[in-house]
């Protein structure tokens, strides 16, 4: 069970702060059941109410700063989603996003950036599907990284770039 004030990842809502824990005072809702009241950090004016024993939606703690740094250091080795069929690739993207797994989100980002590079070399634009999932994966991943690193979400990409450059310089020495 999570505690009030704790940051968690709650499905497609991304990072949320646990605001309250307890029964819901609404007619028609079992007053014996315990709920979390969650405040999604990146969706203004939104609240989520979910049973503490919810098994349908991924609900997990935000990863640690050490785990973020390890993921960033390993980004190039995480690989891509190896699906050539566009419809199957979109399904793979959808499943990866639903998993709320940082490694899967990085796989989406790696895949889309590689595809973008290939398409630009052919004189083509990025597909709308790739663009949509890249934004979703980055928003979700960077939102979680920002909380773990105690920085603003808008600073995460620069943090990643800087860390990768330092690692590349160190390995070149």
Averaged pLDDT, 57-79: 95
In this predicted model, what pLDDT tens digit does every residue of 79-99 receive, in sequence order?
Answer: 999 998 989 999 999 999 999
Question: Please, how many CA atoms are within 13 Å of residue 107, restricted to the half-sphere of its CB?
Answer: 20
In this predicted model, what pLDDT tens digit does every residue of 105-162 receive, in sequence order?
Answer: 999 999 999 999 999 999 999 999 999 999 999 999 999 999 999 999 999 999 999 9
Long-range (24+ apart) CB contacts under 8 A made by 128-134 are 129/86, 129/89, 129/90, 129/93, 133/90, 133/93, 133/97, 133/108, 134/108, 134/109
Output phi, psi for 17, to 5 deg: -105, 135
Report residue 11 CA to chain centroid gap.
Answer: 9
> What's 132's DSSP letter?
H
**Cα 90 to Cα 134: distance, rounded to the nearest angstrom:** 11
State the fold for domain 63-172.
Answer: Methane Monooxygenase Hydroxylase; Chain G, domain 1 (1.20.58)
**Cα 11 to Cα 76: distance, rounded to the nearest angstrom:** 25
The residues, ordered by sequence, that sit 6+ positions from 53 with a Cβ below 8 Å of its Cβ are 34
Q: Which two tokens stand for residue 24?
A: 């819901």
Domain ranges of the chain: 7-60, 63-172
In this predicted model, what pLDDT tens digit does every residue of 32-62 receive, in sequence order?
Answer: 889 999 999 998 889 999 999 999 999 999 9
Which residue do the tokens 């307890």 mark?
22
């Amino acid at each position: 069970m999570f505690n009030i004030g704790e940051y968690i990842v709650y499905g497609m809502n991304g990072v949320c702060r646990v605001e309250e824990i307890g029964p819901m005072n609404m007619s028609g809702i079992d007053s014996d059941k315990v709920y979390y009241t969650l405040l999604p950090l990146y969706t203004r004016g939104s609240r989520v109410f979910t049973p503490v024993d919810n098994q349908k939606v991924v609900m997990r703690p935000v990863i640690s700063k050490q785990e973020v740094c390890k993921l960033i250091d390993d980004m190039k080795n995480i690989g891509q989603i190896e699906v050539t069929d566009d419809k199957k690739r979109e399904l793979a993207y959808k499943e990866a996003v639903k998993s709320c797994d940082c490694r899967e989100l990085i796989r989406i980002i790696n895949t889309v950036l590689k595809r973008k590079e290939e398409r630009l070399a052919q004189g083509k634009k990025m597909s709308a599907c790739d663009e949509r999932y890249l934004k979703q994966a980055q928003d979700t991943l960077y939102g979680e990284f920002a909380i773990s690193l105690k920085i603003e979400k808008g600073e995460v990409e620069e943090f990643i770039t800087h860390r990768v450059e330092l690692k590349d310089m160190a390995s070149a020495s």
